[in-house]
Chain A
Amino acid sequence: MGLRSNNRSVDRRRALFALLLPFSWLIHCEVASSAPADLMSQPASDFALRSLGQENIRLSEQLGEVVILNFWATWCGPCRQEMPLLDAIYSKYRRAGLVLLSINIDEDEEQAAEMAKTLRVSYPVLLDARNEVAKAYELGTLPLTVLIDREGTVRYVSEGFKPGYEKRYTDTLRELLNE
């Protein structure tokens, strides 16, 4: 009788372990993806990258404007969903002082150029093939969207994309433009 109850408790523990094991991966992802939160309220790391239009663009030269940085890759599905919405935001607010810098992290520049052309984005697309800027911004989950105020401080960080996120960008953007 004692042996049976012992076996049952061991079985229960095994079942619980088997049930929780897949979720441990999610917990790890949560920990990894919370890292960009360290960027909040910090000065944005400066960088210079070459754009698809061949000119070099430096972040610190945009001081005085509100800047959106958007990290993406050609293999990222949510990025494809987000980019046209970002283009709409850019078209609407650029005259109010919005600068949008889209940063591609693919090794193949041509793929990035093709995707940008297909999606017909009007904002500058910068190439970070070495992923140096991606590391500086603690890129974990794509897409990563960072809003920077006129003084160069990071004010909003968003990882991933779901429909409706663009409203959060717009709400924060309007606050920063009004500062």
Chain B
Amino acid sequence: MKLGTGMFRKLIACLLCALFSLTGSAQELSSDASSSAEDFKSLDQEVQALKKEVLDLNRELFVLEEELLFPANTQVAVFVSMDVGEFFALDSVTLKLDNKEVANYLYTEREAQALLKGGVHRVYIGNLKAGEHELIALFTGQGPNVRDYRRGATIKLEKGVGAKYIELKISDRASKAQPEFVVKEWE
């Protein structure tokens, strides 16, 4: 059966329409693909921003918790640091405040190395009312030739309105032979 001219024209027209619609949908697909890639990118950026917000919030909550538990007007913090020329392996630090043991910290080799490299450790944070107090600090360790050291220091504290920060530096600079406590109060 032969196709008439009219039929043939209609067939061509249908084929052309089908071709155009396919082209259109291909363009849509490619634009969809590029828009989804953009969506992913913006989603990723949103997630990163959200993570940063969470970390910032966590940090703020931590600071707030400390401020609530240890308000500045009653806060007292004791730090330990080391400044030794000769080898000294710190073993432990014990703190007594007004005759009550408040801290007893055992240092591992890793922690002692960190102190030797300049690290500062907050060994105690607590609350004290204003007035006179007594802090007794004791450290034990091993010096050169596997010699045991045990040293103490008694510090009279005058607690005022603001926070009190005390640094206990284990140093052998003064005596050049034996490690001793050097007490420093931060302003």
Contacts and interface: CB of A to CB of B under 8 A. Distances in A.
Interface of A: 48-50, 55-58, 61
11 contacts: A48-B106, A48-B108, A49-B106, A55-B108, A56-B106, A56-B107, A56-B108, A56-B109, A58-B111, A61-B108, A61-B110
B91 interface: yes
A56 B111 CA distance: 10
- Dominant secondary structure at the B interface: mixed
A91 B85 CA distance: 40
A48 B105 contact: yes
Nearest to A57: B108
Nearest to B90: A56
B102 to A, nearest CB: 14
A26 B141 CA distance: 47
Given A48-B107, A58-B106, A58-B108, 11 more contacts: A48-B105, A48-B106, A49-B106, A50-B106, A55-B108, A56-B92, A56-B106, A56-B107, A56-B109, A57-B108, A61-B110
B139 to A, nearest CB: 13
Contacts of A55: 108-109
Contacts of B111: 58
Contacts of A48: 105-108
A49 B109 CA distance: 12
Nearest to B110: A61
A49 B107 CA distance: 9
Contacts of B106: 48-50, 56, 58
A57 B91 CA distance: 11
A48 B92 CA distance: 11
A27 B43 CA distance: 56
A48 B108 CA distance: 8
B100 to A, nearest CB: 16
A49 B111 CA distance: 14
A165 B107 CA distance: 35
Contacts of A58: 106, 108, 111
A50 B107 CA distance: 9
Nearest to B111: A58
Interface string B59-101: 0000000000000000000000000000000011000000000
Interface string B30-48: 0000000000000000000
A57 B111 CA distance: 10
A56 B92 CA distance: 9
A58 B109 CA distance: 10
Interface in B106-154: 106-111
